[in-house]
Chains A and B, each alone.
Chain A
Amino acid sequence: MLEAHHLVKRFYGTAVVDDVSFALRAGEITGYLGPNGSGKTTTVRMLTGLVDPTSGSVTFRGTPIGDNLVEFRRHLGYVPEEPHLYPFLSGREYLELVGRLRELPERLLLDKIPAMLGSLGIGDAAEQSISAYSKGMKQKVLICAALLHDPDVVIFDEPESGLDVGTALVLRHLVRALAARGKAILYSSHILESVEKVCEKVIVLHRGRVVADASVRHLRTVMARGSLEEVFSELVLHEDPQRTAADLATLVSAR
């Protein structure tokens, strides 16, 4: 449904994303993993059309998204990494703004917004201004905003950031339910456990390049590792984490 073809993004000559290609298919949840600075968020921004690639292209149903970005975004839901919202609006008002900009009928918004906020446990705070929301509450508003228009492709960038355990579990079930309804989902996260539980397939990015693109089970089998965490360590961590931690602890106690 959504395909990245040889995406390259350079900032001041340095390739942050280097020749990344993959496809998101309907009904499939693709995990997107990588250490800090590996280019995950930049890739996500290129996929959403927020950033133009230096070279390569993104196609939606075979058409480059740049040809009709508006049309593409009608089918796209996006939960960004940073919860930047309008602080003087309430949660309900923000979702109404998004829904109206997306030309959703007023009746639908009236029914859907309170129900969605209620389901995520912030129905009571719907009229409170966003400036008083915790990070998790803002994240819940972002999730509602991304799904309000029933998109075909949903991109989650660190969606569990700030969420409580209960809501994180709800989110995992929600992602599976959305995939079961035929949505193509990209799930970019640092939390390996949730990626392992939610995603059928993972793409591992390291220093801007794809180092693995396969199903979780296949990766575990091929690399003869028991968990995704071990696979990830093998692929992208070149230092022994235990030793790094010990060195850091020594530094912390230094006087």
Chain B
Amino acid sequence: MAASRTARRLLREHFLRRFLDNDLISPNADRHEVLVLLAAALVVPGLVITVLILGQKYVIGIPTPALTSIAALDDKFLYITASMLVMALMAAVQWDALGLDERDTAILGTLPVDTRDIGRAKLEALAMFVAAFAVLLNGVPSVLFPLLTLSHFHVNIIAVVRMIVVHAAVTMGAGAYAFVTILLLRELLRVLLGPRGFRRVAGLVQAALVVALGTTLLLLPAIASNVPAKWLRGGDVWQTVPPAWFLGLYEAGTGQVTLTIRGLGLRIPAGLVVPERQAVLLYDSLLPRFSELARVATIVLCATACAALVLYMWNNRRLPLPRVAQARPSGQARKRVARLIAGALVPSPVPRAGFFFTVQTLTRSAQHRIAIAGACAVAMAAAILLMHGIRAIGSAAAAHARLLALQTVVTVIVLAGVRQALAIPAELRANWTFSMAWNGDMDPFVAGVKRAVIAAVVLPLLAAMAGLHAYMVGARAAVEHAAVGALISLIAVEWLVRPDKLPLTCSARPSGNLKALGPIYVMLLFVVAYNVGRLEQWALRGGMVRFAMLVGGLILTYAGSRLFPLRRRLSGAGSRSPVLARIELDDLPDTPTQRLGLSEPV
């Protein structure tokens, strides 16, 4: 029994380390650095939002109890939803590490440890990881937010502690619910599809979850504003939103404190008497719903956790069997199509190597998929914001410049994600393949990479947006707009896919002053995209001549951007020199002090 407990403790530690040392983190990364960065990334946003943004609102702005209660609904909804989204996103990113895998079989399968102990240890490690994550994410706001909302009222310490405990329990509970929902989805897919089917769809589901959750997280400030008004307007539909259940739980838990504050008989400033009375009526009208929602939250949390637990234990009742290579039909038709496309797009061998290696890595490697899914989430959020308030008109002449700018913004954001993904090595230890077969000239390989990005990323993106534009501005204008988008994308590819190192092989070059320049780049993107949109608006309204002028201008810009590598080649940097032949494929990432700019690069 004692031996089993010791084994479980050791296994728990092993699995906890695995959450940090998963495939998404470079094997050369420093675990302490990863931990510190992760903790900072979780703590700082909550601290900033609570102190800098909400601090002013409550300490300076709202001195009355009912108005505070109503105003706090938005913020509580924000905390609850943020906790849910971040926890769900974490579960999606850790997707592969959530259950036992073939590596566990290889490492632990031969040890004299009961398989049930391995499964239980994994589950305990998962619970500890989730708990630590939830505490880091919600700990600081749990203390500060109740203090801020109670800052004007003289309530006893028990009421304050109650507020803090309820805030912590509800936000962490909501986060846990979101996490177990993703876990339940994963385990359900495993049960329904079996190991092979699950492996086939897992990557796609993970990417879709990252895009959907990332987009919602970025749009959260807009979603979480004016909750009571939406609630009253939306009726029952609004109550099917999971954060609303937990908001009900929150209010049900702190209702006593709210009533106590009201009962203190505070002096209301003359100008706030009427709004305060309205707020009391509004809040009281919502009270019955709060208790109803609290019940829903409790039932749903328990039911989801139980279902996830049962399925998890069932799926992990034995260690997964290692994958065995099996004879498979060679897919002649698929290969023929791929060969035809490649023959047209990349006729020479080295660009063809770059083309296929890029497509295969971006679509099959978890790290690269997550990087691009993250960029897609940002692009989707930007697109939703840009589309806000624009209606379908079916006419190019009245097309809004914001709508026309959308294509540029989305494409450039996704391409920035692709640029980031290209800087991640596909598999550092396999780099010797390139060392041995490398011909010393990077340009042809990069040309293949660019064509892969155009074929596998840009064209599907433009095709998807063309459907939307056809609905919004009509089919003809959508085709013309897509043509302009294709040219802009070609220019963006030339500017963004311009690596100093061999893509997908060498360690990523640190992004340098991106922290300072990042906001400038973002602003620049929106300014340029909007002005290009206006230019396009002008061209679409003016007939073929103006459109031809725009296209001609873009072609000239594209030709100009192509001159850069040519200049590099003429100056000798891209030639087949023995110096470039020795591309450093085994270089280690910079030290943390260098990455953080604390020391000069050695």
CA distance A199 to B299 in the complex (A): 74
Contact status B356-A50, CB under 8 Å: no
Stretch at the interface among A9-17, A22-30, A89-97, A241-249: A89-97
Closest residue on chain A to residue B586 by CB atoms: A50
The answer to the question of A106 belonging to the interface, with a C-beta cut-off of 8 Å to chain B, is yes
Interface centre among B357, B436, B440 (most CB of A within 10 A): B436
The answer to the question of B86 belonging to the interface, with a C-beta cut-off of 8 Å to chain A, is no
The answer to the question of A73 belonging to the interface, with a C-beta cut-off of 8 Å to chain B, is yes
Contact status B432-A84, CB under 8 Å: yes
Per a CB cutoff under 8 Å, which of A69, A88, A131 touches B581? A69
Per a CB cutoff under 8 Å, which of B331, B360, B434 touches A88? B360
**Which residues of A have CB within 8 Å of B434?**
101
Contact status A98-B360, CB under 8 Å: no
Q: Can you report 30 residue pairs joining A to B where beta carbons are below 8 Å apart?
A: A50-B432, A50-B435, A68-B581, A69-B440, A69-B581, A70-B576, A73-B436, A84-B427, A88-B361, A88-B365, A89-B364, A93-B356, A93-B360, A94-B433, A96-B356, A100-B349, A100-B356, A101-B350, A101-B434, A102-B349, A102-B437, A102-B439, A103-B348, A105-B349, A122-B325, A125-B328, A127-B329, A127-B331, A134-B325, A137-B325
CA distance A83 to B453 in the complex (A): 29
Contact status B578-A68, CB under 8 Å: yes
**Which residues of A have CB within 8 Å of B514?**
none
Query: Count the A residues whose beta carbon is within 8 Å of the partner chain — how many?
Result: 45
Known: A70-B438, A78-B436, A98-B433. 11 other contacts (CB 8 A): A70-B576, A85-B433, A101-B349, A101-B350, A101-B439, A102-B349, A102-B439, A106-B349, A124-B328, A127-B331, A137-B325
Contact status B433-A145, CB under 8 Å: yes
Residues in B lying within 8 Å of A, measured CB to CB: 323-331, 339, 343, 348-350, 352-353, 356-357, 360-361, 364-365, 426-427, 429-430, 432-440, 445, 576, 578, 581-582
Contact status A106-B352, CB under 8 Å: yes
Q: Distance in Å from the Cβ of B446 to the closest Cβ of chain A?
A: 13
Per a CB cutoff under 8 Å, which of A82, A97, A103, A105 touches B357? A97
CA distance A86 to B433 in the complex (A): 9
Which 10 A-B residue pairings sit nearest by Cβ, starting from the closest? A124-B327, A100-B353, A101-B437, A88-B364, A132-B323, A125-B325, A84-B429, A70-B440, A100-B349, A128-B325
Closest residue on chain A to residue B365 by CB atoms: A88
Per a CB cutoff under 8 Å, which of B325, B353, B361 touches A133? B325
Number of A-B contacts (CB under 8 A): 112
Q: Distance in Å from the Cβ of A126 to the closest Cβ of chain B?
A: 7
Contact status A127-B328, CB under 8 Å: yes
CA distance A46 to B163 in the complex (A): 68
The answer to the question of A42 belonging to the interface, with a C-beta cut-off of 8 Å to chain B, is no
Contact status B432-A97, CB under 8 Å: no
The answer to the question of A202 belonging to the interface, with a C-beta cut-off of 8 Å to chain B, is no
CA distance A82 to B433 in the complex (A): 12
Given contacts A85-B430, A87-B427, A93-B360, contact A70 B353 (CB under 8 A): no
**Which residues of B have CB within 8 Å of A82?**
429
Q: Distance in Å from the Cβ of A129 to the closest Cβ of chain B?
A: 8
Contact status A70-B578, CB under 8 Å: yes
The answer to the question of A67 belonging to the interface, with a C-beta cut-off of 8 Å to chain B, is yes
CA distance A82 to B360 in the complex (A): 23
Given contacts A78-B436, A132-B325, contact A67 B426 (CB under 8 A): no
Per a CB cutoff under 8 Å, which of A66, A86, A101 touches B430? A86
The answer to the question of A180 belonging to the interface, with a C-beta cut-off of 8 Å to chain B, is no
The answer to the question of A104 belonging to the interface, with a C-beta cut-off of 8 Å to chain B, is yes
Contact status B576-A76, CB under 8 Å: no
CA distance A97 to B352 in the complex (A): 8
CA distance A49 to B582 in the complex (A): 9
**Which residues of B have CB within 8 Å of A128?**
325-326, 328
Given contacts A76-B436, A98-B437, contact A86 B427 (CB under 8 A): yes
The answer to the question of A48 belonging to the interface, with a C-beta cut-off of 8 Å to chain B, is yes
Contact status A127-B324, CB under 8 Å: no
Contact status A73-B353, CB under 8 Å: no
